[in-house]
Amino acid sequence: MQITYPKSFLKLLLIGFALVMLPLIAAFVNANLQFNKLTQQSLFNMSQAVETTRASQIMLEELAVMERSARQYFVLRDQVLLSNFNQAHERLGAALNILLLQPIALPQHTDLMSFTRQENDLYQSITQAQHNKADFDDSMVLNFATLTNLANQISTSNNALIDQEAVTFKVRVSQVKKALFWQMLTIFPLVLIIAALITWMIARPIRRIDAAINQLGQGDYEHVIHINGPGDLRQLGSRLDWLRIALKDLHQQKQRFLQQASHELKTPLTAIREASELLHDGVAGNLNTQQNQIVTILRDSSLRLQRMIENLLKYTEIQFNAAKSNVSQQALNVVIQKVLQAYALTIA
């Protein structure tokens, strides 16, 4: 399968880094958004609960102040008590307006409107009685009792709604935690797969380059070097293939030189060796002892020189064809004995 690579190795690294980081960044952003939503919801719920509880408490307290002030006024006819009654009425109205604006109190909207209407009616009746110099009658007592019961009912219902909101928020937090857990459980394997894929895409051309260099180092110049990867690595593969061709030509030239040198050197050495053999055999006449020793030295030296040249040629050939060389272990004492035998006459 042909894989499409970017034009440079750096781009491949940057793309790989981006692909690995993208799911993690997305998970982080999503988690941050979810936590921000939960934080805002928590602050909103807390503010709403505080406002609702405070307004409910004010409603009960001011209703009690209104009743006490009204009772005392109709007994003492003190304008200060009437002023306290009116101020309590205004504070109660403000508390009711706050409750009506709270989303959590929407289920209590009907009760709040009923309470507001009854409280206004009671306020009007007490005000009218004050103008008419009337007394605080039983109907007013009954109306205050009814309003107090309704206020307690509204306060209890609001507390229940606040508790319900707390439970709902707790469930929401649990759902978000579970969703984030499954998100991370899904993203981590995805990141590992992407990282493994990018690592394979990066390591593949590098391993191929390493194999190509080993191929050249072992003297294998026959196989074409082709690197499939980013543009700069493909260019490096082309340069390695150019080097392979150059080394192949150089190797062939060395081989031709070795063959020619072997032929040029062996021919005169063979002539010298054969001439020394003829002299040693007495073809040119009998030799005295001293002449015979000289001929022997000449013959042995020519043979040794031929072996040295052949060894040098073999060594040079091995250097340029190391991959095909047959390396084996040799006993060192045997090698020493052969060398001593070859140089026995010279040593003597």
CB neighbour class for 227 (10 Å; exposed up to 12, middle 13-18, buried from 19): buried
Distance CA 273, CA 304 (A): 10
Residue 282 in tokens: 């007495």
Model pLDDT for residues 192-242, shown as the tens digit of each residue: 998 888 888 888 888 888 988 898 888 788 888 888 888 888 888 899 889
Residues 254-263 have pLDDT tens digits of 777 777 777 7
Per-residue b or e along 32-57, where b marks 16 or more CB atoms closer than 10 Å to that residue's CB: eebeeeeeeeeeebeebbebbeebbe
Instruction: Give pLDDT, residue 49.
Output: 87
Query: Which are the contacts of 85, defined by CB distance < 8 A and separation ≥ 6?
Result: 65, 66, 69, 70, 73, 126
Confidence of residue 175 (pLDDT cuts 50, 70, 90): very high
Quote the tokens at residue 1: 């399968």
Determine the angle formed by the axes of helices 109-131 and 138-217, rounding to 10 degrees: 150
> Minimal CA–CA distance to 224: which of 242, 204, 205?
242
In Å, how far from its chain's centre is CA 319? Answer: 48
Name the residue with higher pLDDT: 140 or 36: 36
Of 220-224, 282-286, 304-308, where does mean pLDDT reach its minimum?
Answer: 282-286
Give the integer Cα–Cα distance in Å for 270 and 34.
Answer: 95
Amino acid 141: pLDDT? 84
Q: Which pLDDT belongs to residue 284?
A: 64
- The alpha-helical segments, DSSP class H, found in 102-230 are 109-131, 138-217
Query: Measured between alpha carbons, how far is residue 323 from residues 26, 218, 319 in Å?
Result: 54, 5, 9
Contacts of 273 (CB under 8 A, 6+ apart): 299, 302, 303, 306
What is the pLDDT at residue 320? 58
**What Rg value do the Cα atoms of the chain yield, rounded?**
55
Predicted confidence (pLDDT) per residue in 14-32, tens digit: 888 888 889 889 989 999 9
For the chain, the average pLDDT equals 83
pLDDT in tens, 95-122: 989 888 887 667 778 888 988 999 999 8
pLDDT at 105: 65
Q: Is 287 helix (H, G, I), strand (E, B) or coil?
A: coil
Q: How much is the pLDDT for 82? A: 87
User: Mean pLDDT, to the nearest integer, of 64-90?
Assistant: 89
Q: What is the pLDDT of residue 90?
A: 93
- Amino acid (one-letter) located at 289: T
Percent of the chain having pLDDT more than 70?
Answer: 89
Confidence band of 174 (pLDDT split at 50, 70, 90):
very high
